Amino acid sequence: MHDKISYNESKVLRLLMEDSRMSILDISKKLALNRNTVSGIIKKLNSNIIDRYTVETKEPENSLYIIIETEDINSVDQDKVIEYFELANGNYIVIMNRDALIGSINYTSINMAYRRVINKIPSRIELYCDYCRGTIAGKPQTYETADGTLYFCCNTCKSDYIDRLGAVKSIKK
């Protein structure tokens, strides 16, 4: 488990998870933080929390994934493997591209998936409510804005935020 991170560290990390190419200047503007503060936060996150930055490609329409369970990972063509998990029982769950159907595969079980969803909500870090700034203990409530996703600890905070947002918009008109 990671050390507890602050509200601002959590906000910076969430922005980097949405777009790891975001510049320090853009992050500082979005969060109304000093660039030096953001730079320091990123350095701390890089040394304690962030393991690597990755590129996520767009999935083609009607993607097909082959998911197998196998006892021997070495018997699987590594060029066709997207990712794999080593199970506690010694077997492997292997996610492969559709080309894996060509040729022979030694497997215990096989399935096909038409869509791959990667969880965007970090599960190993401290999340804070964007309304009350309290720690989010369970699954967060989310609200999409033009500036990104907001996270709330409960439906009450989310509703209050939306109500206040509506009141502010009506005052500006």
Q: Are 104 and 131 within one domain?
A: no
* Of 12, 27, 54, the domain-final residue: 54
Interval 30-43: pLDDT, tens: 999 999 999 999 99
Q: Is 141 inside any structural domain?
A: yes
Q: Is the pLDDT of residue 167 over 50?
A: yes
Q: Is the dihedral of CA 120, 124, 125, 130 positive or negative?
A: positive
Instruction: Clarify whether residues 27 and 48 are in a common domain.
Output: yes
Token representation of residue 162: 């939306």
Do 3 and 46 reside in the same domain of the chain?
yes
Check whether residue 99 and residue 133 sit in a common domain.
no
Does 120 map to a domain?
no
Q: Total domain count for the chain?
A: 3
pLDDT tens profile 113-160? 877 776 665 556 778 999 999 998 888 899 988 878 889 999 999 999
Cβ neighbours of residue 96 closer than 8 Å, sequence gap 6 or more: 65, 66, 67, 68, 76, 80, 81, 82
107 & 141 share domain: no
Same domain membership, residue 105 and residue 80: yes
144 forms bridges with which residues in the sheet? 149
122 within domain boundaries: no
Give the domain range for residue 41. 1-54
